[in-house]
Amino acid sequence: MSVSPALPSVSSVAPPTQAELFDFVRRTAADAELIDSLPLDPEGRTWVRLEGPGGSEAWLIGWPPGTGTGWHDHAESVGAFITAAGELKENSLGARLPADGWKTLELSDNVDHERRLPAGKGRSFGQHHVHEVLNESTDAHAISVHAYYPPLPQIRRYSRAGQILRLEHVERPEDWQ
């Protein structure tokens, strides 16, 4: 009688969906002890990396008054974020941009979307979602929870003047970790 060696098991775990990422950020934002543990800086954003579901990348971020991200996208990652304290504003583009091969684009009219996200409100988004997130308060910090899958391969940073969007530079994980 011969015995065959056992074959390694192949994981068939599916990557987290946008809905699962949103559920994670919602549950995490409800953890008052975690939210209160984030050190807040009066001048610059602060962040702590979290363990996200299914191998996703997650962050708890503190936003001093008057701070924001600037226009950017998360490349091929899908994601979700929610405001845990304070209020954030998201400006986004309702148009899919070409993934590569451009430096300057003229945007169509009516592509701009604005969302006010007080504590408990957030959203999920697909690949190549271009947005900026702002804390427009003059006197209060905001705190948010973010999750991305796959873990961020890059962030593309843009400048905007009217309807002209210009790719300025590309950040890699080693730039922010």
Q: How many residues does the chain have?
A: 177
Of 67, 63, 83, which is closest to residue 22 (Cα–Cα)? Answer: 83
Tell me what the pLDDT averaged over the chain comes to: 91
**Integer Cα distance of 171 and 153 in angstroms:** 9
List 106's β-bridge partners, or say none. Answer: 164
Q: Does the pLDDT value for residue 12 go beyond 70?
A: no
What does the pLDDT look like over 35-93, one tens digit per residue? 999 999 999 999 999 999 999 999 999 999 999 999 999 989 999 999 999 999 999 99
Strand intervals (E) in 16-107: 46-51, 57-63, 71-73, 78-85, 87-93, 104-106
Phi, psi angles (nearest 5°) of residue 19 = -65, -40
In which element (H, E) is residue 165 found? strand 164-171
Instruction: Say how many CA atoms lie within 13 Å of 150 toward its Cβ.
Output: 5
3-class DSSP assignment, residue 134: strand
pTM of the model: 0.89
Q: Encode pLDDT of 119-143 as tens digits.
A: 999 999 999 899 999 999 999 999 9
Asked whether residue 4 carries a pLDDT value surpassing 70, the answer given is no
- At 97, is the pLDDT very low, low, confident or very high (cuts 50, 70, 90)? confident
Give φ, ψ of 145 to 5 degrees.
-120, 135
Coil, strand or helix at 155: strand
Rounded to 5°, angle at Cα 34 from 68 and 24? 75
Q: Alpha-carbon torsion 16, 21, 23, 24, what sign?
A: positive
Report H helices in 30-162.
32-37
Confidence of residue 98 (pLDDT cuts 50, 70, 90): confident
Partner residues linked to 126 by β-bridges = none
